[in-house]
Amino acid sequence: MKTILISTSSLWNCGDDFIRNGVLNLLNLKSDVRTIWWNRANGVRSVFANDLRLNLRHCDYFVVAGTPTWINNTEYIYRYCLNNRIPIALIGVGSRGGIYNFRQKNLLHRLAASGLVEICLVRDELALEVLEGYGFKNVTLIPDPAFFVSPLAGDNSVSILGWRDYTVPEKVKLKDSARRLIERISGNHKEFSAFVKWYDRFMQDVFRHSPDPKIVVVHDNREIKRAEELFGKDHVFYSTDYREIFKVYSTAKTYTGSRIHGAIPSVVHGACVNLLYLIDKCRVLENSADILSKHVAGIKNSMKVVYLKDQDVSFPQDFVDTMPDRDAIHSALEKEKRDIRNILKTMSIYAS
């Protein structure tokens, strides 16, 4: 029995659960391969089922299942793979990887030169540029893996608002990125607080003008209280179970919000999507739309990134409102899945 160690996160943000589900769907592993998760989520200890040192003893192959921080928190595993000649696949990674220091940069150069990284599939052009810059070969751009979660039979009836709380503590990376961006544009640290107030008022206005039935979906349990204060307790949905959140997205007629992995499952189920975002991480949706546009005419009329940097956004004037052809999207994703699986078949874990 062969063992794949999968770097993922769980019980933190449902987006990573969607990504892991999509990666496993793409891998389509044989019955002689078992999977062990490395839950890299913030605050999760490496004990019991998540005991990394114990689980690495069984590892025949290491898979990084998506994430924009594919270096930070996983350095020990990469070094273990280098020392023990364990092959690696990066599947659906995005952004710049959470690279903070020279040690990490040197590690990337070693990984690229080692030949151990058999597969390098990225979800956005940021990761493509970074990995090619470090010398990785055959880096390929694919749709975000969350596109490959098996769709449900939704009815496209609900207006979904994906509000996020920029003031939540511990959302260090996004909060700090947003704060730095706003302060760099304005030159005033007070402008971040002004942005948060503007954003909340704007989202309230969008929700007020959205047709019924409508709901607000949050991805973090720390967002529930404030969301209920802004939108009303009866309108706010959250679940620890990512599958329950996915079910809600399967009912979307429109998705307007600031969660990439609210936008993706919504458009997969035939919803019109407007992603409201501050930082360049959102380019994953634009890159995925570019890929799908090869198969689905007019898909970009149903998927739009609305950049919030200047706060000069009007609803509904700056938003798209055309629902995509759901069947055409599913057909396009099946074609992309076949192409990706042909690449994944070259992984040594499939060798008999």
Res 66: pLDDT: 87
Pairing mode, if any, of strands 88-93 and 158-162?
A: unpaired
Q: Looking at the 3D structure of the chain, how many domains does it have?
A: 2
Res 312: pLDDT: 77
* SS3 state at 256: strand
Res 348: pLDDT: 94
Question: Is pLDDT of 172 > 60?
Answer: no
Quick check: is 193 in a domain?
Answer: yes
For range 235-246, the mean pLDDT:
97
Q: Are residues 7 and 119 in the same domain?
A: yes
Of 43-57, 88-102, 184-198, which gets the smallest average pLDDT? 184-198
pLDDT band for 278, please (50, 70, 90 cuts): confident
Question: Is pLDDT of 284 > 90?
Answer: yes
Res 167: pLDDT: 81
For range 199-222, the mean pLDDT:
96
Q: Position 253: which residue type?
A: K
Who's near 322: CB < 8 A, 6+ residues apart? 272, 298, 301, 302
Question: Which two structure tokens, joined as six digits, stand for 292?
Answer: 């799908």
Quick check: is 328 in a domain?
Answer: no
Quick check: is 231 in a domain?
Answer: yes
Q: State the residue range of the domain holding 191.
A: 158-321
Res 171: pLDDT: 43
For range 315-320, the mean pLDDT:
88
Q: Are residues 141 and 190 in the same domain?
A: no
Question: Is pLDDT of 121 > 60?
Answer: yes
Quick check: is 21 in a domain?
Answer: yes
pLDDT band for 310, please (50, 70, 90 cuts): low
Share of the chain above pLDDT 90, in %: 76
Who's near 136: CB < 8 A, 6+ residues apart? 111, 112, 117, 120
Kindly report whether the peptide bond that precedes residue 169 is cis, defined as omega within 30 degrees of 0: no
What is the DSSP secondary-structure string of 267-315?
A: HHTT-EEEEEESSGGGHHHHHHHHHHTTTSTTGGGTEEEEE-TT----T
Who's near 125: CB < 8 A, 6+ residues apart? 141, 283, 287
Q: Are residues 198 and 99 in the same domain?
A: no
For range 21-45, the mean pLDDT:
93
Question: Is pLDDT of 15 > 60?
Answer: yes
Task: Supply the CATH number for residue 166's domain.
Answer: 3.40.50
Q: Are residues 121 and 176 in the same domain?
A: no
Cα atoms in the 13 Å half-sphere on the side-chain side of 38: 28
pLDDT band for 313, please (50, 70, 90 cuts): confident
Q: Are residues 170 and 251 in the same domain?
A: yes
Quick check: is 219 in a domain?
Answer: yes
pTM for the structure as a whole: 0.93
Give me the count of residues in the chain: 352
**Alpha carbon separation from 310 to 76, 96, 163, 181, 327 (Å, rounded):** 40, 24, 18, 10, 36
Quick check: is 136 in a domain?
Answer: yes
For range 96-121, the mean pLDDT:
91
Question: Is pLDDT of 173 > 80?
Answer: no
For range 162-176, the mean pLDDT:
68
pLDDT band for 170, please (50, 70, 90 cuts): very low
Whole-number Å distance between alpha carbons of 87 and 210: 49
Q: Are residues 239 and 174 in the same domain?
A: yes
Contact between 2 and 61 (Cβ < 8 Å): yes
Quick check: is 16 in a domain?
Answer: yes
Q: Are residues 166 and 49 in the same domain?
A: no
Question: Is pLDDT of 251 > 60?
Answer: yes
Q: Are residues 90 and 120 in the same domain?
A: yes
Of 206-210, 236-240, 298-302, which gets the smallest average pLDDT? 298-302
Contact between 139 and 128 (Cβ < 8 Å): yes
Res 67: pLDDT: 80
Element spanning 37, H or E: strand 33-39
Task: Supply the CATH number for residue 41's domain.
Answer: 3.40.50.2000
Q: Are residues 316 and 217 in the same domain?
A: yes
Render pLDDT for 60-77 as a digit per residue (tens, 0 to 9).
999 999 887 788 789 999
The average confidence (pLDDT) of the chain is 91
User: Which of 174, 145, 163, 159 shows the shortest CA–CA distance to 266?
Assistant: 159
Contact between 195 and 309 (Cβ < 8 Å): no
Quick check: is 220 in a domain?
Answer: yes
For range 285-304, the mean pLDDT:
93
Q: Are residues 248 and 296 in the same domain?
A: yes
Q: Are residues 128 and 169 in the same domain?
A: no
Render pLDDT for 174-209 as a digit per residue (tens, 0 to 9).
555 566 666 655 445 567 788 889 999 999 999 999
Considering 9-13, 37-41, 340-344, the range whose residues carry the highest mean pLDDT is: 340-344
Kindly state the DSSP code that residue 94 receives in the 8-state scheme: -
Q: Are residues 250 and 305 in the same domain?
A: yes
Whole-number Å distance between alpha carbons of 73 and 39: 10
* SS3 state at 318: coil
